[in-house]
Homo-oligomer: A and B are copies of this chain.
């Protein structure tokens, strides 16, 4: 890697927790297109999980991940062990205030602290020029962007659009934990967000009204328990009351013991 750097090659990093799917594929492809060397990291980061069962059940498919990443042109898969990443008790953490507080931050205590901390560790280890993150984790992307700006991290952060199944379900490593029946129900999450987005495009300006409409739609599916569905500003992720510019409609739901998140950018015309 230091050889690539000395040769003046641009280094791209795609940080993942493995169980790679076409969404990750899009990140890797973009890095391969834009950088001379692409590193895919695969690390299921214990300190960002707020639930032990979620950590335990998180799919781990390293052998397939390596093949997948290399087939797309990545040169390096960096898959450290837990003791390589955390050889001592981890006492230092990156805290990102404000942007990390609403949405998932409210329901997953310590999650974004764990994310920001491990991402900064990976940045220091790999020292890439660019790092690629999916827009499905829109709040994560906003947290990383803020961290990079606030801490002067010399890395360009690239957000990559969500990849969806043909029925609209956003790709996620956790989707493989859905039962066949729940898998058929799951696309209603995206439908609810699209409903909100359409209402905004058609002129709705009061966020609570749009929110109520989307929640009423989801309420028709009793299998789904909504954790949150909020309309937020796209940089700071703070819930808005009136819609005066582009907003993100973001939601987290539970379906058969699996937590799904999704979001859409809704544009005010």
Residues of A bordering B, CB below 8 Å: 88, 90-99, 116-117, 120-121, 124-125, 127, 146-147, 149-154
**A124-B154, A127-B154 are contacts. A116–B92 as well, Cβ < 8 Å?**
yes
Report Cα–Cα, A146/B94, bound state, in Å: 13
Candidate in A120, A146, A154 with the most chain B CB atoms within 10 angstroms:
A120
| Chain B residues with CB under 8 A of A125 | 152, 154
- Residues on B with beta carbons closer than 8 Å to the beta carbon of A153: 124
Complex: A156 Cα to B93 Cα, angstroms = 20
Closest B residue to A93 by CB, please name it. B95
**Among candidates B95, B99, B124, B152, residue contacting A151 with C-beta atoms closer than 8 Å:** B124
CB distance from A117 to the nearest CB of B (A): 7
Contacts known (A121-B151, A152-B125); A93 close to B97, Cβ less than 8 A: yes
Give the chain B neighbours of A150 by CB distance below 8 A: 88, 90-92, 121
Q: What are 11 sample pairs from A and B whose C-beta atoms fall under 8 A apart?
A: A90-B150, A91-B150, A92-B94, A92-B151, A94-B94, A94-B95, A120-B151, A121-B151, A124-B153, A124-B154, A125-B152
CA distance A150 to B88 in the complex (A): 8
Q: Determine how close the nearest CB of chain B comes to the CB of A96; give it in whole angstroms.
A: 5
User: Contact between B124 and A92 (Cβ–Cβ < 8 Å)?
Assistant: no
Across-interface contacts of A146 in B (CB, < 8 A):
91-92
Q: How close is A140's CB to chain B, nearest CB, in angstroms?
A: 14
In the bound complex, CA of A238 to CA of B145 (Å) = 35
What B residues does A154 contact at CB under 8 A? 124-125, 127
CB pair B152 A124 closer than 8 Å: yes
Instruction: For A113, give the chain B residue with the smallest CB separation.
Output: B95
A149 & B88 in contact (Cβ 8 Å cutoff): yes
Complex-state Cα separation, A99 to B121, whole angstroms: 19
The distance from the CB of A52 to the nearest CB of chain B, in whole angstroms, is 21
Please, which residues of chain B bring their CB within 8 A of the CB of A90? 150
**Distance (whole angstroms) from the CB of A109 to the closest CB of chain B:** 15
